[in-house]
Structure 1
Amino acid sequence: MTAQASAAEPAPGRSPELAIDPDVEVARLTAVRRYDILDTPPDGAFDRIAALAARLFDVPVATVTIVDSDRIWFKAAHGLDGVKEIGRDPGLCGSAILRDDALVIPDTLRDPVAADNPLVAGEMGVRFYAAAPITTPDGHRLGTVNVLDTRPRSITQDDIATLSDLAAIVMDEMELRLSALRALRDEQERRAQESWHAEIERARAEAERAAREQAEKDKAAIAAFASTLQRTLLPPALPVVPGLELGCHYRTASVHDVGGDFYDVFPVDQGRWAFFLGDVCGKGPEAATVTALARHTLRAAAQIDPDPVTVLSTLNTVLLSDVAAGSRFCTALFGLLTPQQDGGFTVTVATGGHPPAYHVRPDDSGSVWVKTVRPKGGMLIGAFPEAHFAQSTFPLSPGEGLFLYTDGLTEARTAQGAMLGEDGLTGFLHQRTRPLTATALVEDTVTLLNALPEGVGDDVALLTLSVPDPATAPESGVATTTHTTATPEHFGQE
């Protein structure tokens, strides 16, 4: 994305400045206070979004701002070192917050409102400005994601959509932050209440029993926190894709650790859909940070250019440049689904150091034809600056399926003590007798996991796709989605 992107220029001028509705403003400021973000320390997630906006739009300045009653406060400011806030003057951020849609000013000197703004008329000399509102789920505009340049320019509708997506990512981060704050406050209140009750209990019971009970409560609290954080790293449900059945399953190896496996399915453009499945090195909060960054980056990069190799290359660059990611790397498969007239899909899959996927279909002998999808040359993501990624393209026809997994599945131990391995997984898929549907593939694999004597030593994520066979699918032809999760406590494991 560059400043030379072609776009039709907006109509000259702009509508007169919108008046501030006092009731709306009071409600908006209440929402700002609710998120408790003003005057908080720098946050890597918001700094990364501002830096990403500057790179995507090739501009010297990009900011994430929150609009207070009488000031505009910078939560993140790329290219504005030392600037923490400015006055709430009309023309730029002060005007953008009044709009439901993005504000684009190709040339600020030609805009009757923006021309008098200090950022335009002052030393900085802003000549181009675009902003997308950061809008809460209940419709309050907290602030904006902004890109600024010192020369006039134009941007495309796709650029505007990208800027809006970045604002939505900011809102997602604020929601996660608010949830964490609430959980912390609730935990502090709960601990305070428990401490008071513990004092009474210690007066009536043995100290050892009280300590044991407290330890059990702490253990449950840690497990609940890990479970809650894990859920935020996975999609709450997969979408319904026309002509496709989807299935997924996630099993944690420990209720006390947050795993690094992730997956998602989402639309891109022109009826095409993207999917990915990956695994971050390690566990715990650090791995969770990288997992969240990987998911956000893959989705955002695919909206700009859904080519699978390009998407993985973007993720590689982001992981290497992000300080919070440290030395952690990940593996991933990223795929692009293009509908075909015969009811099937053309699938392009790129790999970055991940175990192979499996393309399956019934064969004439009554068993299952299994083909390994392993593009040659896919390297680990986030490990090497010059990493190369490979892709392959093949048709997914009616009656066929695609099976993706993380290595917790192949590293699980069989009754003989050996790892299941890729050969064991291939044999399992080849010997199946049930229909090749996404749901059946997930259910049969879960049955396999339950039968393993030692369970799994690492998290397992499954993502399955299948094209319904017209001869056996319901007349409605509506695809279904299966989404299940499991933890060791469900199976007597620890």
Structure 2
Amino acid sequence: MPQQVSVPDEEAGPEYKGSPRVVPDPDVEAARIAAVRRYDILDTPPDGAFDRVASLAARLFDVPVATVTIVDTDRIWFKAAHGLHDMAELGRDPGLCGSAVLRDEALVIPDTLLDDVAQSNPLVTGPMGVRFYAAAPIVTTDGHRLGTVNILDTKPRSITEDDAATLADLAAIVMDEMELRLAALAMVRHEQERRAAESWHAEIEHERAEAERRAREQAEKDKAAIAAFASTLQRTLLPPALPVVPGLELACHYRTASVHDVGGDFYDVFPLDGGRWAFFLGDVCGKGAEAAAVTSLTRYTLRAAAQIDPDPRTVLGALNNALLADVSAGSRFCTAIFGLLTPDDTGGFHVAVATGGHPPAYHLRPDETGQVEVVAVRPKGGMLIGALPEAQFAQVTFHMAPGEGLLLYTDGLTEARTSDGAMLGEEGLTAFLRRRTAPVSATTLVDDTVVLLESLPDGAGDDVALLALSVPRCETVPDQAVSATAHTSAAPEPTGQER
């Protein structure tokens, strides 16, 4: 069933005459309003998570105004607004957001004065004089559009398809935050109901033994609930699986030090234009919900910044600025490695890697004797990310040919203790890697490193993230098909491997 009806401008010529009017289907609109009520978001106090999205949108697109809005029955309510002061809501008709929320795709109006609907909007006719508007709908998992993420400028302009995709990603981040908020509200209500039920039973039963039994059982349930919540939140901060990259094998591993804490380690691999790919791995200072919020900001900032300019040092610089500008991040900082892969005609990849305060990666390449040469990828310099405004980041480039690989890790690996109580350290890790023999495989490299961790007396005392990349030799990969492997585990008992 169509969710809206587009009424084209019969007067439109070859020049832009305005976007078509969109008439909402009454049944679909009623279901959409019900979804808005379900999330209980209207007229709530300011929230740092949504304010960060508005600020990030303004920085990414270099516009003076960016907003996150929820579209009610007769009004447009601003959940977050960057650069827009003393305005909490607008009437829905005529409305820019009111039109954008009825569309499945992003709405872009290069010049509002040429748009039949937009030209009468108060933001266009008022003192602000908005001349450019673009918005992406905030869509629930069951397809209801709650509102929009918007960018506005006082002069006409245009955006690319990649920009529109980035705007859609920001809208998806807003939706993720709303889902987490809804889940948190449900947990609070459930907890209140549970405690009321316990109190009622205690008053009726008046038996200490029964009360103690219930308390013990509830403690176990709470412990399991905390672990489940931490696990669910952790999964939202990591890619569910690594992508399939032509000519490359990928493998990863993530192990949290405790099932009751959300770790701050992160990694990702994602495509860019021109057949290029980006990858990153890093570690946010601290643990728990605050570290998780910074981890989420870090991951999405790296992805968004790379779409604009994939130069590794530029990307880390954008992350540094984002962390310093985010008041809610406080004194949180992180270390990270960001890399850019460009395929070449030899079947290998040109690799550019920048680092910000992170331990070195290791480039493994077989020599003529069948042994593996281990080269530390350690750009000179590279400061902590989010600590200083003038932070500088170092970069190095190299070639990764067929039969070679690259291992990235967080410091939970090198800080693990050996049987004599000393840390494994970079020297111990280097020695372990040198004992390997060709061929180099991302999957076996990660698997063997996990076995190394499990062989240590106390395992890893901190979170450990591993990301490995390798370029298979042609004769070892039938039909040039390269698989991606992703596996995770959590202390104290590993959950195994997911492929």
Using the size of structure 1 for normalisation, the TM-score is: 0.92
Cα gap change, 1:195/1:366 in structure 2, threshold over 3 Å: closer, same or farther?
Answer: farther
Give how far 1:213 is off.
3.7
Alignment of 1:61-80 (within 5 A): 61-80=65-84
Query: Which residue in 2 is equivalent to 1:488?
Result: 491
| Contact 2:60/2:305 (8 A) holds in 1 | no
Give how far 1:55 is off.
2.2
Separation in structure 2 between the aligned mates of residue 434 and residue 196 of structure 1, nearest angstrom: 67
Moved more, 317-326 or 51-60: 51-60
Query: Which residue in 2 is equivalent to 1:216?
Result: 220
For the residue of structure 1 that corresponds to 2:413, the secondary structure is coil
Give how far 1:45 is off.
1.5
Give how far 1:408 is off.
0.4
Moved more, 48-57 or 153-162: 153-162
Instruction: Give the aligned residue type for 2:240.
Output: P
Give how far 1:202 is off.
6.2
Give how far 1:201 is off.
7.2
Moved more, 286-295 or 105-114: 105-114
Separation in structure 1 between the aligned mates of residue 264 and residue 188 of structure 2, nearest angstrom: 23
Give how far 1:398 is off.
1.0
For the residue of structure 1 that corresponds to 2:257, the secondary structure is coil
Confirm or deny that 1:424 pairs with 2:425: no
Query: Which residue in 1 is equivalent to 2:258?
Result: 254
Query: Which residue in 1 is equivalent to 2:346?
Result: 342
Instruction: Give the aligned residue type for 2:86.
Output: G
| Contact 2:371/2:438 (8 A) holds in 1 | no
Instruction: Give the aligned residue type for 2:171.
Output: A
Query: Which residue in 1 is equivalent to 2:153?
Result: 149
Cα gap change, 1:321/1:439 in structure 2, threshold over 3 Å: closer, same or farther?
Answer: same
| Contact 2:18/2:114 (8 A) holds in 1 | no
Confirm or deny that 1:479 pairs with 2:491: no
Alignment of 1:379-398 (within 5 A): 379-398=383-402
Cα gap change, 1:300/1:15 in structure 2, threshold over 3 Å: closer, same or farther?
Answer: closer
Confirm or deny that 1:35 pairs with 2:39: yes
Query: Which residue in 2 is equivalent to 1:455?
Result: 459
Confirm or deny that 1:311 pairs with 2:315: yes
- Deviation sequence 1:265-300 (CA, Å, 0-9, x none): 111211111111000111122211111111111111
- Deviation sequence 1:396-427 (CA, Å, 0-9, x none): 11111110000000000011111100010001
For the residue of structure 1 that corresponds to 2:457, the secondary structure is coil
Structure 1 unaligned spans of 5+: 1-9
| Contact 1:320/1:385 (8 A) holds in 2 | yes
Query: Which residue in 2 is equivalent to 1:128?
Result: 132
Q: RMSD over aligned Cα, in angstroms?
A: 2.2
Confirm or deny that 1:58 pairs with 2:59: no
Query: Which residue in 1 is equivalent to 2:442?
Result: 438
| Contact 2:254/2:489 (8 A) holds in 1 | yes
Cα gap change, 1:326/1:157 in structure 2, threshold over 3 Å: closer, same or farther?
Answer: same
Alignment of 1:212-251 (within 5 A): 212-251=216-255
Cα gap change, 1:218/1:94 in structure 2, threshold over 3 Å: closer, same or farther?
Answer: closer
Structure 2 unaligned spans of 5+: 1-13
Give how far 1:354 is off.
0.2
Separation in structure 2 between the aligned mates of residue 183 and residue 367 of structure 1, nearest angstrom: 55
Query: Which residue in 1 is equivalent to 2:325?
Result: 321
Instruction: Give the aligned residue type for 1:334.
Output: F
| Contact 1:134/1:145 (8 A) holds in 2 | yes
| Contact 2:65/2:83 (8 A) holds in 1 | yes
Give how far 1:486 is off.
1.7
Alignment of 1:271-282 (within 5 A): 271-282=275-286
Instruction: Give the aligned residue type for 2:262.
Output: V
Instruction: Give the aligned residue type for 1:478.
Output: A
Separation in structure 1 between the aligned mates of residue 219 and residue 23 of structure 2, nearest angstrom: 57
Separation in structure 1 between the aligned mates of residue 494 and residue 481 of structure 2, nearest angstrom: 33
Separation in structure 1 between the aligned mates of residue 211 and residue 146 of structure 2, nearest angstrom: 50
Give how far 1:15 is off.
4.0
Query: Which residue in 1 is equivalent to 2:370?
Result: 366
- Deviation sequence 1:445-481 (CA, Å, 0-9, x none): 11111110011111100001111111222x1322222
Aligned residue among 149, 166, 180 for 1:176: 180
Separation in structure 1 between the aligned mates of residue 224 and residue 244 of structure 2, nearest angstrom: 35
Cα gap change, 1:179/1:11 in structure 2, threshold over 3 Å: closer, same or farther?
Answer: farther
Using the size of structure 2 for normalisation, the TM-score is: 0.91
Moved more, 195-204 or 308-317: 195-204
Aligned residue among 98, 101, 106 for 2:105: 101
Confirm or deny that 1:414 pairs with 2:404: no
Instruction: Give the aligned residue type for 1:482.
Output: T
Separation in structure 1 between the aligned mates of residue 60 and residue 271 of structure 2, nearest angstrom: 20
Separation in structure 1 between the aligned mates of residue 223 and residue 180 of structure 2, nearest angstrom: 23
- Deviation sequence 1:311-355 (CA, Å, 0-9, x none): 000000011111111011100000111111222111111000000
| Contact 2:70/2:77 (8 A) holds in 1 | yes
Give how far 1:78 is off.
1.1
| Contact 1:261/1:461 (8 A) holds in 2 | yes
Cα gap change, 1:189/1:337 in structure 2, threshold over 3 Å: closer, same or farther?
Answer: farther
Moved more, 53-62 or 199-208: 199-208
Instruction: Give the aligned residue type for 1:246.
Output: L
For the residue of structure 1 that corresponds to 2:297, the secondary structure is helix
Separation in structure 2 between the aligned mates of residue 82 and residue 41 of structure 1, nearest angstrom: 15
Moved more, 64-73 or 79-88: 79-88
Cα gap change, 1:85/1:481 in structure 2, threshold over 3 Å: closer, same or farther?
Answer: same
Separation in structure 1 between the aligned mates of residue 480 and residue 121 of structure 2, nearest angstrom: 57
Query: Which residue in 2 is equivalent to 1:166?
Result: 170
Separation in structure 2 between the aligned mates of residue 357 and residue 281 of structure 1, nearest angstrom: 19
For the residue of structure 2 that corresponds to 1:170, the secondary structure is helix
For the residue of structure 2 that corresponds to 1:490, the secondary structure is coil
Separation in structure 1 between the aligned mates of residue 210 and residue 29 of structure 2, nearest angstrom: 56
Cα gap change, 1:68/1:234 in structure 2, threshold over 3 Å: closer, same or farther?
Answer: same
Instruction: Give the aligned residue type for 1:387.
Output: A
Instruction: Give the aligned residue type for 1:488.
Output: A
Moved more, 302-311 or 125-134: 125-134
